[in-house]
Every structure is written in C-alpha cells, then in structure tokens.
Amino acid sequence: MLPFDDGPLAWPAQGGALFLRARDGWPLHARPRPGLVCEQSFKPEADALLRSGLALGDERDDRRYPLVLVLPPRQRDEARALFARALAQCAPGGRVVACMRNDEGARSGETDLAQLAGPVAQLSKNKCRVFWTAPLHGPADVELSARWRALDASREILGGRYRSRPGVFAWDRIDAASALLAAHLPADLAGRAADLGAGYGYLSLQLLERCPGIAALDLYEAEARALDLARENLSQIAGVPIGYHWHDVGTGLGAQRYDTIVSNPPFHGQGRAERPDIGRRFIEVAAQALAPGGRLWLVANRHLPYEAALASGFAQVRIVAQQDGFKVVEAVRQRA
C-alpha cells in the first residue's frame, strides 16, 4: 500500500480493485479502499480476510478492474501465471501493482512483470519491494503472456497417474515422506478415515488402494488449488464415499469421528521459517477426532518435536520406521 499512502499512485475513484493472493493486514484498513475484492485460495488467510469484513471473490471472477494488486507466490511458474492473469483482468488504462520480499524473489518478480507489461516503477522498504506498471492497454508481449498464463494449468505427472500444477506442495513428484508413510500403511486399517493435509490426493489414493476395509474417506486441505486436484485424482474411485473439505485443520474437525487418520502435516506456514506448532496442532486435532481405539498414521521429519503432543493425546505411540531423515509413527487412542 506504500505507493497509495505515501507515494505516486491514487486509489481508483471508480471500479474498485482486485487483490490476488490477498492477505489481511493493518494497511488494508488504515484508509478507505472502496471496491476492494480479495482472492485467496489458502483457507487460513481467506478466513482472516472474511473476519476483517473484506469482500472475498474467487478465480472464476473474470471482471476487469482499474487496479489489480498481486502478492506473488514463491514458485516462479505459478507467479508468472498470476502476473499474466493480473494483466488480463486489468481494465484499459489500469495498473498492476505487486509486492514481494527481497529474500523471496522480489528482483526476479519485478523483471518478470516488466517482460509482460513494459517498464515498471518501484519502491523498497522493510526488506520488500513494491513495483507497478504504467497505465496498461494489454500486455506488451501478448505471446509471452499467453504462454505464461498456461504455466499454472493442471497437467498429468508421473506418467499420467496423477494430475497436479505448480505451486502445490511437491507438485511434480511423490513427496518422499508421503511415499515412506504409504509403504508402511497396514492393510487392516478400516472404517471411516480422514487424510489431514491431503494435498493433491496421493496419500488418500494409496490408503484406498492398500486398505480394502476403508468404508468412507474425508480429505481435509487448506489450499483450494490442491483440493481441486485431489478431486480429479480420486474421481475414478467407486464404492467408497469421499468427502472433500476446504478446511483449516488447525481449527479442529468439530464433531467428526474417525477410525483411521493419515497425515503428512505441514511444518511451514506461508514463509520459510519452520512451524512445528502446525504439526503439533494436527496431532491434537487427530486425537480429538479419532474414536476410542482409533489409529493415527503420521510421517514427519525426524527432528521435529512431536513426541510430547503424541504422548499427551494417545495411549500407545510407536515409531514404525525411520529412513532418510523421516519417521513414521502409529499412535492409538485409548479405548473407552
């Protein structure tokens, strides 16, 4: 918001603004921002925007705005596709304004936007860089914009077994920790199951293929883009009811009860710093959601301090495997 509050740009008098990958923060509320529409596919951030009273749209919105704000992601193909989309939704004479941390690719982001839109201006402060276009009448390089817009498309990976897209966790491969957990899942897991932090659906599909006693499965995933892929990847499964939940696991699962839970919990937030508190919260929620005697199968980096949370929530805890820096854990809820 620096160019609008203390710099050369003015907020649009009409037509509002679209904010792609918006995050809440005091600068959004320091001054009136009439017509602001926010878009955010990560559930905790989307919930924070709604709690602040901001309007939330989604990527099906194809309206054009006199101002498009962007907080680009770190994955470069995903960021380039977002820049191309920002230009496509910028009304004639409008501007695109983006901001990135210096240590998360701000210089590269500025260069990428300039390739699409022509020369950009910039300001730097607080180890971040904000950069913006001149008034636009379409991209400076139409062909490049079309190519970059396609970079974020869903595509087949691993010989067509799964579909994925840039920016999703381990988007172009099988995550090594998830593969280790899948290899140790016992065939006798049964009943109603949940996958916490399901990503594009790899663990869920492995659970259904390896454990014929699973009677129903719920996938919980905070990133809507990943959940859409999981829906595609599990679309051919027949005979087992499957629920897809765009949900922040950290808020709990309410009254839901499960016989089996599998999870490769995240241990980073939106930044680079490790967040073992997220994994501990996943373990607490799993303990609350499991029926008496229910089983949690979890994989994590070996150094992450989850032992106290496991001991607090479960009657039995055992290390099933340790390999390549990961640990697979089975934890069993106390029986009634």
pLDDT at 334: 86
Contact 328, 320 (CB under 8 A): yes
φ, ψ at 152 (rounded to 5°): -95, 5
**Domain housing 136:** 2-152
CATH number, residue 204: 3.40.50.150
Same structural domain, 134 and 254: no
Nearest to 3 by CA among 118, 128, 101, 97: 97
pLDDT of residue 205: 97
* 182 and 128 housed in the same domain: no
Distance, in Å, from the CA atom of 43 to the CA atom of 198, rounded to the nearest integer, reads 14
69 in the same domain as 44: yes
- In a shared domain, residues 160 and 301: yes
- 143 and 165 both lie in a single domain: no
Same domain? 161 vs 296: yes
CB of 197 within 8 A of CB of 170? no
Residues 185 and 326 in one domain: yes
Q: Are 216 and 238 in contact (CB under 8 A)?
A: no
Cα(287)–Cα(292) distance, rounded to whole angstroms? 9
- 204 with 280, same domain: the answer is yes
Instruction: Indicate the average pLDDT of the chain.
Output: 94
The confidence score (pLDDT) of residue 304 equals 87
Of 128, 152, 176, the residue at which a domain comes to its end is: 152
Question: Which of 118, 152, 186 is at the close of a domain?
Answer: 152
| Same domain (yes/no): 180, 75 | no
Q: Cα separation of 12 and 66, whole Å? A: 7
Q: Are residues 148 and 173 in the same domain?
A: no
Q: Are residues 47 and 184 in the same domain?
A: no
CB 123 within 8 A of CB 130: yes
Number of structural domains, the chain?
Answer: 2
Instruction: State residue 267's pLDDT score.
Output: 76
Segments of the chain scoring below 50 in pLDDT = none
Domain final residue, candidates 152, 170, 186 = 152
What is the tens place of the pLDDT at every residue in 124-151? 999 999 999 999 998 999 999 999 999 9
The amino acid at 131: F
Contact 67, 38 (CB under 8 A): no
Instruction: Report yes or no on whether pTM surpasses 0.85.
Output: yes
Q: How far apart are CA 265 and CA 263, in angstroms?
A: 6
Verify that 147 and 161 share a domain, yes or no.
no
pLDDT reported for residue 335: 78
Which of 57, 45, 59, 48 shows the shortest CA–CA distance to 225? 59
3-class secondary-structure state, position 40: coil
Residues, the chain: 336
